[in-house]
Structure 1
Amino acid sequence: MHALLSAFTPIWVLTAAGYAVGRGGLLGEQAEAVLGRFVFHVAMPAALFMMVSEARLSSFANQSVIAFGAGTVAVCALGFLAAGRFFGRKTADRAITGMASGYVNSANLGIPVAVQVLGDASFVAQIILFQVLLVSPVILTLLDTGTDRGRVHWRPVLRRMLTMPVRNPVIMASMLGVLVAATDLRVPSALGRSCDLLGAAAVPTALITLGLSLHGRRDGAEATEAPASRGEVAVAVALKNLVQPLAGFGVALLLGLPEQQVLAVVLCSALPTAQNAFLYARQYGLDTALARNSVVASTVVSMATLSLAAWALGPPG
């Protein structure tokens, strides 16, 4: 439990700091928007480029990733469908609900939890690659097409989909990283250090931005949307914290994985919603309440689910 508390503490501290800064008005009214754009367009692409470019793509395909991926895809799809069927959401908002339901906080929380419980973070690196290279492009495509204001012609939509890697810094950085990794190129040391410095700002700035959003305006529109948002948050958190770990556990058993790999799959599946869901909603001008509240609620609930997974599947003693 001490290890889990140590892993969660930076998330709570930085989010609380962002809330305090927002409450005090220290950074001005536009701070949330500006910091959100900085993370999405600058810091996150730099971090993703270095992470993917230094990865060994050959280690990506294994049964543990398949087990995790199957549970993730199923839960994201359930969240996407539930948002449309039960809450009347359109495509872009449904994509955010799907992301909130199954996109795990693999970087700033997954790594310390894996090190403490599993002994190393090698599997988390594969999870990061899976989310960055496969899950994120699908979600961003849905967001991009779903926020295509009024243009229903198939040609503009197709053109936007084909040019999205050029227009979206997250996908572009990931693709460049894959190119570097696949061709065994070496990133020049000066460029690598610069990207590392920028990338190091991604997680803390994202958490500060999340905290700023918690002190957002309480206008009439928000009050009207609150009941539906609470229902969606409950669905997203249930899918994230309960269904996804169980799905990963079931697939891992079907594949006959060893006990340590089963623990790794369930533990990573039980991680809370990544703050990327909030950042994407913010970047595309969508309602951020669902993503923001899902990140906070799933982070609190995951303290129990992560502890349960470690106790039930970990080695005795």
Structure 2
Amino acid sequence: MIHILTHDILPVFAMLALGFAMGRGGVVGTVEARAVNRVSFLVLQPALIFPLMAGADLSGVAPRPLAAYALGEVLMFVLAFTIARRVFGRDLREAWLLGMATMFVNSLLYVWPITVLIYGADGVLPVTAVVLLDTAIFFSFFILSMEVMAGGKAWKATLGRIALNPVLLAIAVGALVNVGGVPLPQPVLNALAFAGPAAAPMTLFALGVILSGTALAPTPAIAGIAGLKLLGFPALVFGLAALLAPGSDWSAQMVLTAAGPSGAMPFALALLYGVRTDTIAPVIVWTSVLSLFSLAWLA
């Protein structure tokens, strides 16, 4: 457990912590971090997502444990959204993103690199399947839904932003390339391999800087949402996997993924669409810190 914590988990967490420390120390400002975050979202994340979508070999995917994980995400979102609205009195868009924060794990930029370090690139198909599920379905859903909620009656402008969203384009084109078996030229693969790996460290660093300006004192809403993420979601996935896919060797990595911290995307979407972040941001910080030990134990 200690070896996994020090050699595989902390090196990934270090970029978030470095950004947080440099932000608190005034070395890097929020304006700079927002610019880095935007570049990562528009350029680096599509470069990471596209080859994952285009080159994924889905022949070995075990559908039952993956379905258990997906069902857990849906149920956790509904529960957290309802609590955020009715118990904590948050408006529709903030409650929507708080619900997302409990079920949308930082799988692509955090858990996936950690599991590659632990199990090797050939031993992380379960986590890769979750990354593809979250990227292709749930992330797309939340981008689309936030666009609709932000667009009001300006449907043409909303549809235009959706059509030009680089992450959605990377997902859609990557899926078409995969299904169609279209070979990618080696120079394209080389360019993606050069740019894509920068997405995780740059995004985590920028997130750390931006979060450094956030008050971290736990309020009932912060503690409640973070508790649902850290305890409720892994327990729900564990129970559903035991019920729907008993004995599957995928279950351990499903639960490991569910135990990861809240993803950066709820926070990034809140910044993008002008939603308050005084609860979302501390949830990400607390779940990132507290999940260090649960991830090391489960791994």
Smaller-chain TM-score bracket: 0.7 to 0.9
Query: Which residue of the partner structure matches residue 315 of structure 1?
Result: none
Query: Which residue of the partner structure matches residue 127 of structure 1?
Result: 130
Query: Which residue of the partner structure matches residue 179 of structure 2?
Result: 182
Query: Which residue of the partner structure matches residue 268 of structure 1?
Result: 257
Query: Which residue of the partner structure matches residue 43 of structure 2?
Result: 42
Contact 2:102–2:229 (CA under 8 A) maintained in structure 1: yes
Residues 13-52 of structure 1: matches in 2 within 5 Å? 13-28=14-29, 30-52=31-53
How far does residue 245 in structure 1 lie from its aligned partner after superposition?
A: 1.3
**Greater alpha carbon shift after TM alignment, 108-117 vs 230-239:** 108-117
What do the CA deviations read for 1:12-39 (whole angstroms, capped 9, x no partner)? 3212321343244444552022112111
Residues 192-203 of structure 1: matches in 2 within 5 Å? 192-203=189-200
Contact 2:214–2:282 (CA under 8 A) maintained in structure 1: no
Question: In 2, distance between residues paired with 1:28 and 1:114?
Answer: 31
Question: In 2, distance between residues paired with 1:73 and 1:297?
Answer: 23
**Greater alpha carbon shift after TM alignment, 194-203 vs 55-64:** 55-64
Residues 39-78 of structure 1: matches in 2 within 5 Å? 39-60=40-61, 62-78=63-79
Q: Does 1:295 align with 2:284?
A: yes
Residues 107-256 of structure 1: matches in 2 within 5 Å? 107-115=108-116, 120-148=123-151, 151=152, 153=153, 156-157=154-155, 159=156, 162-216=159-213, 230-256=219-245
Contact 2:81–2:99 (CA under 8 A) maintained in structure 1: yes
Q: Does 1:89 align with 2:90?
A: yes
Query: CA 1:32–1:109 in structure 2 vs 1: closer, same or farther (change >3 Å)?
Result: closer
Contact 1:36–1:282 (CA under 8 A) maintained in structure 2: no
Question: In 2, distance between residues paired with 1:307 and 1:9?
Answer: 10
What do the CA deviations read for 1:74-109 (whole angstroms, capped 9, x no partner)? 112222222221223233212210121011122343
Contact 2:24–2:213 (CA under 8 A) maintained in structure 1: no
Question: In 1, distance between residues paired with 2:177 and 2:245?
Answer: 34
What do the CA deviations read for 1:153-205 (whole angstroms, capped 9, x no partner)? 4xx34x45644531322111111110111111122222222222222221111
Two-structure CA RMSD over aligned residues (Å): 2.5
Contact 1:65–1:126 (CA under 8 A) maintained in structure 2: yes
**Greater alpha carbon shift after TM alignment, 115-124 vs 263-272:** 115-124
- Kindly provide the amino acid, as one letter, of the partner of residue 262 in structure 1: S
Contact 1:271–1:302 (CA under 8 A) maintained in structure 2: yes
**Number of matched residues?**
296
How far does residue 214 in structure 1 lie from its aligned partner after superposition?
A: 2.8
Ranges in structure 2 where 5+ consecutive residues have no aligned partner: none
What do the CA deviations read for 1:201-255 (whole angstroms, capped 9, x no partner)? 211111111121133277xxxxxxx88x833322221111111111111111212
TM-score normalised by the chain length of structure 2: 0.88
Question: In 1, distance between residues paired with 2:173 and 2:12?
Answer: 29
Contact 1:40–1:283 (CA under 8 A) maintained in structure 2: no
Question: In 2, distance between residues paired with 1:256 and 1:169?
Answer: 35
Contact 2:211–2:285 (CA under 8 A) maintained in structure 1: no
Question: In 2, distance between residues paired with 1:215 and 1:11?
Answer: 18
Contact 1:3–1:113 (CA under 8 A) maintained in structure 2: no
What do the CA deviations read for 1:104-148 (whole angstroms, capped 9, x no partner)? 122343235435666721111100000001111111122212223
